[in-house]
């Protein structure tokens, strides 16, 4: 079947509901669970809490549930482990190669190829003088700092318009300023979020954080008191002595604790109405060193013997700090009566989602993450750069079908928008192409949603001068993943069910499958009008002779029969799918 525009066949509907998603996306229902609870009385619209760690690796949790059994034997995350055991985990969840494209996808519900997204990396993707291609898409900015257009209806705005109180805590990054987060991106309140990409220092000094964190968080930056330690740290500590906890009193507040304070304060003040709390952790993003870790946790990990997983005490401390942050929020939900739901615990009518914004950064000096057997890490196109843990939990069994259930649905960052709008019964913006699917059938019933996953970066991704990714496109369909490299026109094919580490390229042996997946990729590029890298000025003209098959370039799909293609400097370098 030749590639063509497919506005309805792909999972890109503008409006997704329970009835429309199931047949279009192939929802597979699970077997009935023995002793399943009967439906309860109809509850009010649920509260929504989304917690996202920064640069947390796929295998950084001490539970093996979210990562196919690759538990970390150095980091300790007991509370997230419990959340996974009580809730539902998605082992095939994807983000983008870096944080800003993931964050833009979460706020817009769109793939980066859309003109109202158009964020592929933290900084420009044009590349360097020696790169053969020019990675800046035609007429579009490629810098992620001010990513989300102010006139776009974001997820926050959609929930606001549906009557939700909306609060943001922590890193934002894809905004031109802190004020824009409230004025243009749908949040009633913001604590700490700004255009900055990370906290350059994790502790407050003289009751305020440095300028990498918005001053709005400073109201929670006061030094630790004995009452604070007793109430908010001691109950969640394991393997830390009472003396180490007491030593925190009078010392500087850690940003993870401060932003958790802000999130809980918002929830407490907003519980008389439905609320959406977006908790964007600064940790464990670099800088990862002893100066950034809370002293009680750092002492614990310094004294701990390494296992088989990477063992960096400061990284373990930052990661367990995130674990304690989630535990505090969940405990508040479980212990606080819900005035909208007959005084039952808030947790009974709250959906909690936990994930990371990209694959972990494995640099042992600046970071220290663990992606397990996955190939490469943050910034790279392979699984280690883009696969992330994804846990959903609720105290109400009609919101999340839990019990440690593992779900193999392919999850993408774009899905948050449509899924939370579905739970909130919120109207989606008209005439806006949303690329996510409604995961509510998966969350609430344990259904598996059959869909493909796509990724596209029309330029170069670098970090610290290291080239991580060249211009590429990829598609995941079930167990198979296909990559296309635009620099040399090559394809790579991996069987992730048998080769999770992507060690054996099967493209030459499975040409028919390359053709099949390549056609899906061409259809998607065409559907989203994906921009491509161009041949850099000064490069020799490229001539491709005797081309038979399909190409995509300049927003068009073309069929060829033994044609000669000439690519001049300034022309888009096409996606070429030759017929076998």
Q: Could you report the per-residue pLDDT of 254-299, keeping only the tens digit for each? A: 999 999 999 999 999 999 999 999 999 999 999 999 999 999 999 9
Catalytic annotation present for 456: no
Closest CA to 148 of 126, 168, 127: 168
CA–CA distance, 473 with 452 (Å, rounded to integer): 13
Closest CA to 99 of 61, 167, 52, 154: 52
99 is catalytic: yes
Tens of pLDDT along 23-50? 335 565 554 343 334 344 578 999 999 9
Angle at 500 between CA 447 and CA 107, to 5 degrees: 55
Residues 6+ apart with CB under 8 A from 62: 71, 72, 73, 75, 76, 77, 78, 81
DSSP per-residue letters across 308-340: SS---HHHHHHHHHHHHHHHHHHHHHHHSB-TT
Q: What is the pTM of this model?
A: 0.93
Among residues 79, 107, 138, 173, the one annotated as catalytic is 173
Each residue's pLDDT tens digit, 102-141:
999 999 999 999 989 999 999 889 999 999 999 977 555 5
* CA 310/CA 261 separation, integer angstroms: 30
Beta bridge partners of 467: 462
Range name among 90-104, 127-141, 290-304, 336-350 with the lowest pLDDT average: 127-141
pLDDT in the model for residue 42: 76
Cα atoms in the 13 Å half-sphere on the side-chain side of 451:
31
The DSSP secondary-structure symbol of 347 reads G
Report residue 340 as tokens.
């909208």
The pLDDT tens digits for 478-529 are 999 999 999 999 999 999 999 999 999 999 999 999 999 999 999 999 999 9
First to last CA, the chain: 14
Q: Where are the domains of the chain?
A: 48-123+146-436, 470-578
Distance CA 305, CA 282 (A): 27
Q: Which fold has domain 470-578?
A: Arylsulfatase, C-terminal domain (3.30.1120)
Domain 48-123+146-436 is found in CATH 3.40.720.10: yes
Per this entry, what is the length of the chain?
Answer: 580
Q: How confident is the model at residue 18 (pLDDT cuts 50, 70, 90)?
A: very low
Contact yes or no for 340/273 (Cβ under 8 A): yes
């Amino acid at each position: 079947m030749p590639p063509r525009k497919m506005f309805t066949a792909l999972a890109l509907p503008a409006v997704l509901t329970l009835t429309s998603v199931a047949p279009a996306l192939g929802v597979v229902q699970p077997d009935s669970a023995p002793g399943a609870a009967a439906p309860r009385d109809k509850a009010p619209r649920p509260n929504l809490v989304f917690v996202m760690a920064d640069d947390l690796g796929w295998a950084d949790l001490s539970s093996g549930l979210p990562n196919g059994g690759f538990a970390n034997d150095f980091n300790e995350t007991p509370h997230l482990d419990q959340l996974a055991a009580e809730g539902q985990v998605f082992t095939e969840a994807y983000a983008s190669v870096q944080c800003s494209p993931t964050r833009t996808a979460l706020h817009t519900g769109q793939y980066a190829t859309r003109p109202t997204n158009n964020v592929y990396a933290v900084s420009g993707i044009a590349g360097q003088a020696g790169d053969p291609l020019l990675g800046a898409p035609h007429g579009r900015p490629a810098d992620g700092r001010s990513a989300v257009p102010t006139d776009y209806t974001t997820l926050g705005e959609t929930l606001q318009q549906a009557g939700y109180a909306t609060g943001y805590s922590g890193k934002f990054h894809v905004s031109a300023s802190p004020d824009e987060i409230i004025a243009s991106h749908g949040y009633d309140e913001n604590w700490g979020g700004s255009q900055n990409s990370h906290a350059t220092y994790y502790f407050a000094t003289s009751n305020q954080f440095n300028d990498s964190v918005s001053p709005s968080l400073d109201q929670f930056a006061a030094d630790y008191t004995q009452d604070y330690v007793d109430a908010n740290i001691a109950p969640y500590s394991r393997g830390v002595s009472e003396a180490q906890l007491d030593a925190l009193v009078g010392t500087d507040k850690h940003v993870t604790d401060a932003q958790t304070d802000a999130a809980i304060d918002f929830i407490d003040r907003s519980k008389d109405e439905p609320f959406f709390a977006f908790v964007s952790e600064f940790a464990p993003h670099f800088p990862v060193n002893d100066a950034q870790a809370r002293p009680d946790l750092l002492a614990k990990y310094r004294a701990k013997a390494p296992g088989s997983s990477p063992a960096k005490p400061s990284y373990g401390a930052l990661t367990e700090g995130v674990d304690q942050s989630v535990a505090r929020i969940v405990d508040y939900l479980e212990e606080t009566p819900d005035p909208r739901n007959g005084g039952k615990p808030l947790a009974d009518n709250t959906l909690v989602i936990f994930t990371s914004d990209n694959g972990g950064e494995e640099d042992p000096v600046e970071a220290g993450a663990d992606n397990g057997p996955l190939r490469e890490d943050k910034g790279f196109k392979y699984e280690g750069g883009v696969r992330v843990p994804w846990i959903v939990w609720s105290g109400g069994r009609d919101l999340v079908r839990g019990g440690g259930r593992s779900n193999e649905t392919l999850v993408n960052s774009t899905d948050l928008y449509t899924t939370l709008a579905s739970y909130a019964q919120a109207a989606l913006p008209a005439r806006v192409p949303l690329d996510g699917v409604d995961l509510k059938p998966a969350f609430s019933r344990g259904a598996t949603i059959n869909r493909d996953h796509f990724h596209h970066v029309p330029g170069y991704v670098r970090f610290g001068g290291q080239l991580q990714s060249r211009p590429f496109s990829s598609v995941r369909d079930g167990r198979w993943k296909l990559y296309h490299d635009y620099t040399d026109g090559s394809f790579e094919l991996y069987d992730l069910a048998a080769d999770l580490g992507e060690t054996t390229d099967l493209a030459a042996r499975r040409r028919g499958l390359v053709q099949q997946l390549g056609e899906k990729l061409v259809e998607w590029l065409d559907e989203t009008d994906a921009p491509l890298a161009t041949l850099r000025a000064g490069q020799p003209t490229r001539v491709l002779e005797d081309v038979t098959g399909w190409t995509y370039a300049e927003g068009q799909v073309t069929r060829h029969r033994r044609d000669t293609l000439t690519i001049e400097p300034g022309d888009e370098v096409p996606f070429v799918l030759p017929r076998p």
